[in-house]
Amino acid sequence: MLKKKEKYNVAVVGATGAVGLRMVSILEERNFPVARLLPLASARSAGKTVKFHGEDIVVQELKEDSFKDIDIALFSAGGSVSKKFAPLAAQAGAVAIDNSSAFRMEKDVSLVVPEVNPHAIGDIPGIIANPNCSTIQMVVALKPLHDLFKIRRVVVSTYQSVSGSGQKAIEELRKQSLAVLEGREIEKNVYPHQIAFNCLPHIDEFLDTGYTKEEMKMVNETRKILEDPTIEISPTAVRAPVFYSHSEAVNVETEKAIDAARAREAMAGFPGIKIVDCPGKNEYPLAVDGTEKDAVFVGRIRDDLSTRNAVNFWVVADNLRKGAALNAVQIAELLLRRSNSS
Ligand code: A2P
């Protein structure tokens, strides 16, 4: 449990990365009570600075003893860094909020989306896991439907932006796009194929089942967060040539009677969801509109004409904010509220 204090020492591991930079700016935006911000990254970045409340704060190299006197450590530097350093942060007395997949499915680690399962945070969280970006936006939309209609099956296709693969991938899409438009050879470093003007049905490693690890994250994490191992989920995860924000086409089958109107009403009343659904005016959620926003945007809500008790919708969220940095800061805020009320 986080000890009650007026202000907290907060470390951001991976502070120079696509998610880490947003963790820092979101802590500032939301006026999180930070006594000392400690930006950590690899030796490559030591000495660079990040802006926080108008100050340039020097990035330090992540080391085993980095977490002395730290209360909260937000991690977004990849799974292997989390595996080694999140337990060290917890041992040093901090609560580690980890954006990697390293601990998400461990039995005694909470996997939390604050609008969906705040109670899961537990009493003595050394490490709390932030779910996968494509899972977060989907479970926010699914939760009100599951509560009212009990979800039986979900079929989902994702259209995920390159920022989910980090800064290098953003640069790869930019450079490849320019190269293609100028008729030059493209260079591939992050993805196995050209991502500019192309869609790759391949995110993370392939498993023997033919599914990818990213797809199985959506299955396993959704079941854990919604606390229902019976939900059947069939995902296809696709990398799209989009810089920021993930989009998902979701089909949901429920046990109780559902239709588009009832689904819309349930989702509209749920915290964190914004409905954008006026097809007559060409209004539906778009990645370019969802970027730099906090909400999960839902639209194209319609009956599934092929079967009973099923609806389709389209859901968009900023993968670096609600899908990662914002959700992590919201977990930290949840911890704060807990420690203030205890
Ligand atoms: P660095 O900038 O020094 O490489 P992204 O996902 O956008 O690529 O960002 C990854 C983040 O994780 C960066 O801040 C990066 O720091 C950091 N990082 C990567 N490897 C390590 C490591 N071994 N130790 C500490 N930080 C790391």
What pLDDT is stored for residue 123 in this prediction?
75
* 140 in the same domain as 125: no
Local confidence band at 127 (pLDDT 50, 70, 90 cut-offs): very high
Instruction: Decide if pLDDT at 342 tops 90.
Output: no
Distance 100 CA to ligand 1 centre (A): 12
The residue range of the domain holding 282 is 135-319
Q: Ligand 1 pocket, 46 CB below 6 A?
A: no
Question: If you average pLDDT over every residue of the chain, what do you get?
Answer: 97
What pLDDT is stored for residue 88 in this prediction?
98
Query: Does any domain span residue 1?
Result: no
Local confidence band at 72 (pLDDT 50, 70, 90 cut-offs): very high
Q: How far is CA 202 from the centre of its chain?
A: 18
Instruction: Decide if pLDDT at 320 tops 80.
Output: yes
Backbone angles phi, psi at 36, to 5 degrees: -140, 130
| pLDDT tens string 221-233 | 999 999 999 999 9
| pLDDT tens string 285-296 | 999 999 999 999
By the 10 Å C-beta count (0-12 exposed, 13-18 middle, 19+ buried), 302 is classed as middle
What pLDDT is stored for residue 231 in this prediction?
98
Instruction: Decide if pLDDT at 215 tops 90.
Output: yes
Q: Ligand 1 pocket, 17 CB below 6 A?
A: yes
Q: Alpha-carbon Rg of the chain, whole angstroms? A: 20
Q: What is the mean pLDDT of residues 12-30?
A: 98
| pLDDT tens string 177-206 | 999 999 999 999 999 999 999 999 999 999
Q: Ligand 1 pocket, 165 CB below 6 A?
A: no
| pLDDT tens string 131-154 | 999 999 999 999 999 999 999 999
What pLDDT is stored for residue 144 in this prediction?
98
* 139 in the same domain as 106: no
> What is each CA distance from 313 to 131, 298, 327, 341, in whole angstroms?
21, 7, 22, 38
Sole residue written with tokens 């696509």: 18
Please report which residue ranges of the chain form alpha helices under DSSP H: 18-29, 79-91, 133-149, 167-181, 213-225, 260-268, 287-290, 326-341
* 112 in the same domain as 198: no
Half-sphere exposure of 132 (CA within 13 A, CB side): 27
* 203 in the same domain as 59: no
- pTM across the whole model: 0.97
CATH number, domain at 335?
A: 3.40.50.720
| pLDDT tens string 29-64 | 999 999 999 999 999 999 999 999 999 999 999 999
Backbone angles phi, psi at 159, to 5 degrees: -130, 85
* 192 in the same domain as 67: no
Query: Domains in the chain: how many in total?
Result: 2
Nearest CA to ligand 1 atom 9: 17
* 228 in the same domain as 120: no
* Local structure of residue 70 (DSSP, 8 states): -
- Indicate which residue of 119, 193, 199, 246 is catalytic: 246
* 227 in the same domain as 209: yes
Instruction: Decide if pLDDT at 124 tops 90.
Output: no
Nearest CA to ligand 1 atom 18: 77
* 184 in the same domain as 89: no
Q: Is 53 designated active site?
A: no
Distance CA 114, CA 333 (A): 9
Query: Does any domain span residue 3?
Result: no
Q: What is the mean pLDDT of residues 20-27?
A: 98
Instruction: Decide if pLDDT at 339 tops 90.
Output: no
Handedness of CA 88, 92, 95, 97 (dihedral sign): negative
Could you identify the atom of ligand 1 that is nearest to the CA of residue 19?
7
* 178 in the same domain as 68: no
Q: What is the mean pLDDT of residues 251-266?
A: 98
Q: Ligand 1 pocket, 166 CB below 6 A?
A: yes
Distance 129 CA to ligand 1 centre (A): 18
* 157 in the same domain as 78: no
What pLDDT is stored for residue 108 in this prediction?
93
CATH number, domain at 177?
A: 3.30.360.10
* 55 in the same domain as 108: yes
Q: Ligand 1 pocket, 151 CB below 6 A?
A: no
What pLDDT is stored for residue 150 in this prediction?
98
Could you identify the atom of ligand 1 that is nearest to the CA of residue 44?
3
Percent of the chain that is helix, strand, coil (3-state, to 5): 35, 25, 40
- CB neighbour burial string for 273-284, b if at least 16 within 10 angstroms, e if fewer: bbbbbeeeeeeb
* 312 in the same domain as 328: no
> What is each CA distance from 73 to 92, 113, 126, 150, 219, in whole angstroms?
11, 17, 10, 36, 27
Hey, which of 50, 61, 81, 319 would you mutate to test ligand 1's pocket, going by the most ligand atoms within 8 Å of its Cβ? 81
